[in-house]
Structure 1
Amino acid sequence: MLVAANLILSFCIYSFLGWLCETVYCSLPKGELVNRGFLSGPFCPVYGFGALLVVYLLRPFARLPVLLFLAAVVLTSALEYATGYLLERLFHTKWWDYSKRALNLHGRVCLRNSLLFGLMASFVVLLLDPAVQRLLLRLPEIFSLLLAAAMVCYFVADTVGTVRGILSLQEHLEKLEALREEIREKTRRYHEEFEQNILERREELAESRQERREQMQARIDALTRQLSGMRLSSRHIHRRLLRAFPGMRSQRHQGGLEQMREALEELRCQRRENQK
């Protein structure tokens, strides 16, 4: 039991450290805190899994630093690629995109990140993991067991909440896309009917044409207001995910996603103006 508990706690430590590195790396250029995590809490599980894989698979190479580094580059790149692929298939969304970076593979991995992950993995195997294991061995056994159980419950709850938030984001984007399509269709029909009335019945339908025009315009205005409201009505987790993954692209509802990004940018600009 203690071995399993220490494994869980190691996963939590590495998930937190991964989240911390990602958050600092992404927050400094923007000058604001960005919760750079898939989950709502301060953890990036992919770093936890990655660190454990690196430690247990690459420990035999600890005495060969160059070979350790090369193996770490391959292993962490494979993990990042597989994670990106699975997330795209599960949620029909591309969470990060390295397509503009040199030597990338399908936008899911790139050489720069792979080299950085290789260095980090080597550091974990050679220096960090031994220190983490010494720390965990100093904890009382009952404390380790209770803390591990609590962390499992936390991760399950956070994962369920995050997945539900992502699914609701997809639903929100679908509604936005449907509204945009309806506006386009209403506008197209409005122009078609207007042109047809001009050609077929100029005088006798002038009054009804005007009434029809006003009705159609009112419907378009109402849809536009509804669209504007939906752009601003996203849940907190939607806004957090958009800030955390600025390169996110929806495979089905990219138009709705861009609408939400524009709305969030407008809100940020308004807040900056209010603070002046």
Structure 2
Amino acid sequence: MAQETRLEYQSLPAVAPSYLRAATTLSGGLSQGETIPDIVAEIADLEVRAEELAKYRKVCGFRHSPYLPVTYPHVLAFPIHMAVMTHKQFPLKLLGLIHIRNEITQYRNIEVAEKLHLQVSVGGHEEVAKGVEFGLVTRVRDRAGDLIWEATATMLSRQKTSVSDSHSKPRKKPEEGLPFEPSDEASWDVPADIGRRYASAAGDYNPIHLSPWSAKLFGFPRAIATGMWTKARAAAELEPHLKQSAYTLSVGFKKPVFLPSTARFAYNTGDNGADFALTNDKGDILHLLGDVRYV
């Protein structure tokens, strides 16, 4: 059994070196019989910076509160995510990875003033028709050691596999209706600079989100909105309607939101949580599909 690689930080690692390693890594993939080794990174007694939190709240639409937005621990852990996925033991190329699903469970509200212990881990993979999927897992504990927040970001690395897609279920088209009956909706104006504004608040400077020119280098006609911005914006929209602070917030990222654009956020809340979707303004392109379930 391969030995686990452990990384321990006294302060958050700089993101710039990770971007440099990502930009200069020209190849990556899993060979036959190879998998992603176990890599675990940790940081203790992490404190939230008020000015950075305020910027994040503003760009994502969260109200001021004594508690962290449900998606904010993802931002706190982002420098460690980058360090793990550009580590020399990590076999996949970071640029080109696709974030396809994201699930967050918040076990209680997290106070802004709390000191937090963050752990990020990867290890193993699953072959699918389009490539290999793996989970980037983040866990947050309080000073007593209790687990208060955890998330799994499911990532796809495109490569040839032995899995056939001939038995995959046909996708339901948006025009055939959403898998829930919306009771409310809101129109979102998604400006051309939202990728740059989110990057400034969250540290995610992926070039496909920053400008039309940098996005074209990766095959996109225009810049696209960051998936975790759309999830955070959805969480901010739903927050006033939720009855409990302990819940699981799950999303599947579908078609990209090209910038600028107008999007339609449809949702339905109930005793068990909420269902929601983000489409284009005409409703015939599905960008995001998710739900909230109380725990």
Larger Rg: 1
Range of TM-score over shorter length: under 0.3
- Higher strand residue share: 2
Higher relative contact order (CA 8 A, sep 6+): 1
Comparing both structures, which one devotes a greater share of its residues to helix?
A: 1
**What TM-score do you get using the length of structure 1 for normalisation?**
0.21
